[in-house]
Structure 1
């Protein structure tokens, strides 16, 4: 039985619609735990305030805890995780289950489910990012390599400065993801389908059960935050992934036969199917393909949302169906970052030998300026020396690095873990005690 059975809409067979729903069911399998969690929170309020019979509530709790811990198998004929969960609870809790989701809209439910899923996923991203920063910060190799603009040698730079640059990109992403994580602590439940709830439930109290917030009262504004959440996440990810793709392009060039100043670790390169001499940077290239996929997701979100009225629209389902699998894939990919950077070998001798005489031009212009106090003449003099093939004075640049406080990042991570693991687990234990009493 579909959750909307008995409404004004008549049911019928439509194989084309069933096909479209099937993918949604496959993705909704990742949301079962979160569906059970928010229903436990909602029904705990109903239990506390005597809105449903305590014995009925206990039957619902037992079934929801089982669904939370063991999962449920979803049936596409029931459309989505919400219909499947309702069917499962009625099957396991009997008539008591018919009040499982009274006064609730699946709009606010899918929003809440996705927020929970996103928080746990962002936490995983943060763990991988922090581990990568720690790995890079512990690399003790140093030396000088050429910097490039317009794919031409520009000025030399210390390898330690370059490594710190990579760490800064990861660190910046860590904190921007954390801003999104904190924003997700606002519990969506309570806006119904975008026009408010008639349940009489204090959703501020519901939020407090696991340390969430409920500060937004306007239901229309809260409902629009569903799509805003996708936009916020993809915006942070795109900036991060584009930056990493540029680093990877450096690594592809630096590790090629023409330069060979770094060596990529085993497991991140492959051989050629034809040429036994080839060492291909496949991981880096495939990663760049995932960056393109991330950018295309942003386009999907914007184009699906533009010119829509406030509230939920069913084609938003497509956003969820594409976005969740991408986040799952990205979680696995980011887990591979620490080993990648830990395994890179830098050939400092080869790197300094490949620096061209002209790469020291800016430094030599500075030396000449120190004598003449005339920048234009100093610049011109260095240009003349290059044209006449005169050897310039080389130099070793200083390391220019910023301190990155990984201890502070550890503290942030522990706070987020407290929500995901401690607060929620404590709440589940409280429900279990009620069931056992």
Structure 2
């Protein structure tokens, strides 16, 4: 590892085992953050020029080298390695190597504390925007499926027992509405994160009139995060907000995948997944396993475990504490897993094909009992009396059909009136607000 940028005595011995322990996973994790750190460094350089800490020529040289570093990262010619403590030191070392003393000016008025905070916020903001787009794809897929299957009868379940006739359209529409709600959660998290911490240094500001309005505009943040102490105290807090929004998405995906896991069993046999979404057994030639669905179902656990890890770390006093370094790993792993799962979800929705004959065969006569009870109560009989009478009159249910039951379910949002137009309107309003 190169000499740490914080080392004061160049002759002092540094225990490499201790340094490796303190650096931890940062070099691997910072591969996700370095381009955001460069973006923030460019804004910082322009801010320093605006208050005459750098002249125009110095500013242009630094910006050119930062752009050069970005290009080298994209091309693979520059790799973060164990030679560096973290991405912040890697950027500074690169600039010093390229520009000498001028490269050392880059750190004027900032700390690695506000560097990691601004890079993390930029990373999370872009990640949540990406998640938002993937959720929109899932909503469109669910609505399309709901429209295509609005009249396809399927059994509805409560307590895992057959309850009343339902439709595939209603099942798909339930996930469309869930994901529309999740858009609101993502938007709330984006709004919380959309604040610029750059210029607060290690948590107490600096004795320079830093142009924080300029850097906020350069980085396309909605507002300045003002109080330097709160900037440090917010670390972990805004990450938890992001994980909470992502977990809401994965919670619904988990339920969707749980349903598919059941529906693809031979006992249900309601759904057949495409072969590319299943795998074979290593020992049993007769089997196809829904491994993709099961792994997507498990992804919620990754986000939940990261949430618990962050919450446990955040039992801290005010100000920066090195414990906070350990929030980076669970955060990045959870965000990465969330985006991978959300990327696949629309494909799974589109590939879900119900076996209509199997669904209809699973609707048996007792499932019409609730319809009969409601009919009797609508004719003036109290519902409790109707409920009791239906138990005695099951024979009168024999001539009913799933189609008749579905057509009679006219309450708003139910099988005969899915209100898909209203769901589309809500969805479109949320898209316009972005």
Q: Distance in 2 between matches of 1:287 and 1:107?
A: 35
Q: 1:42 to 1:390 in 2, by over 3 A?
A: closer
Match of 2:88 among 78, 82, 91: 82
Match of 1:332 among 310, 334, 340: 340
**1:288 corresponds to which residue?**
297
Unaligned runs of 5+ in 2: 410-415
Q: Distance in 2 between matches of 1:98 and 1:283?
A: 49
Match of 1:316 among 311, 320, 324: 324
Map 1:172-191; keep pairs closer than 5 Å. 172-191=181-200
The question of 1:192 aligning with 2:240 is answered no
CA contact 1:29–1:81 (8 Å) conserved in 2? yes
Q: Distance in 2 between matches of 1:312 and 1:185?
A: 21
Q: Distance in 2 between matches of 1:35 and 1:11?
A: 29
Q: Distance in 2 between matches of 1:88 and 1:349?
A: 66
Match of 1:102 among 78, 93, 108: 108
How far the C-alpha of 1:325 sits from its partner, in A, is 2.9
Give the alignment's TM-score, normalised by structure 2: 0.88
CA contact 2:246–2:338 (8 Å) conserved in 1? no
The question of 1:122 aligning with 2:142 is answered no
**More divergent stretch after superposition (325-334 vs 149-158):** 325-334
CA contact 1:57–1:96 (8 Å) conserved in 2? no
How far the C-alpha of 1:372 sits from its partner, in A, is 4.2
Match of 1:366 among 369, 374, 394: 374
Q: Distance in 2 between matches of 1:20 and 1:389?
A: 75
User: Any idea what SS the aligned residue of 1:263 has?
Assistant: coil
Query: For the aligned residues, what is the CA RMSD?
Result: 2.3
How far the C-alpha of 1:161 sits from its partner, in A, is 1.4
Give the alignment's TM-score, normalised by structure 1: 0.87
User: Any idea what SS the aligned residue of 2:154 has?
Assistant: strand
User: Any idea what SS the aligned residue of 1:156 has?
Assistant: strand
**1:21 corresponds to which residue?**
23
Match of 1:51 among 46, 50, 53: 53
User: Any idea what SS the aligned residue of 2:379 has?
Assistant: helix
**2:166 corresponds to which residue?**
157
Q: Distance in 2 between matches of 1:166 and 1:11?
A: 59
CA contact 1:156–1:355 (8 Å) conserved in 2? yes
Map 1:415-434; keep pairs closer than 5 Å. none
Q: Distance in 2 between matches of 1:78 and 1:272?
A: 44
> How many aligned residue pairs are there?
411
1:274-303, Cα deviation, whole Å (9 max, x unpaired): 223322111111112221111111110111
Match of 2:235 among 213, 226, 241: 226
Higher RCO by CA contacts (8 Å cutoff, separation 6 or greater) = 1
Q: 1:392 to 1:226 in 2, by over 3 A?
A: farther
CA contact 1:33–1:69 (8 Å) conserved in 2? no
Q: 1:282 to 1:32 in 2, by over 3 A?
A: same
**More divergent stretch after superposition (8-17 vs 350-359):** 8-17
The question of 1:279 aligning with 2:297 is answered no
1:28-70, Cα deviation, whole Å (9 max, x unpaired): 1121111111111011111233212332222211111112233
How far the C-alpha of 1:129 sits from its partner, in A, is 1.5
Q: 1:361 to 1:54 in 2, by over 3 A?
A: same
Q: Distance in 1 between matches of 2:100 and 2:170?
A: 65
How far the C-alpha of 1:309 sits from its partner, in A, is 0.6
1:332-388, Cα deviation, whole Å (9 max, x unpaired): 3321122211111122222122012222221111112133421111111122335x8
Q: 1:60 to 1:11 in 2, by over 3 A?
A: farther
Q: Distance in 1 between matches of 2:125 and 2:97?
A: 30
Q: Distance in 1 between matches of 2:125 and 2:84?
A: 27
Match of 1:400 among 396, 402, 418: 418
How far the C-alpha of 1:150 sits from its partner, in A, is 1.1
Q: Distance in 2 between matches of 1:211 and 1:116?
A: 9
Q: Distance in 1 between matches of 2:328 and 2:211?
A: 28
**1:419 corresponds to which residue?**
none
User: Any idea what SS the aligned residue of 1:4 has?
Assistant: coil
User: Any idea what SS the aligned residue of 1:404 has?
Assistant: helix
The question of 1:171 aligning with 2:180 is answered yes
Q: Distance in 2 between matches of 1:27 and 1:213?
A: 26
User: Any idea what SS the aligned residue of 1:355 has?
Assistant: coil
Q: Distance in 1 between matches of 2:10 and 2:314?
A: 27
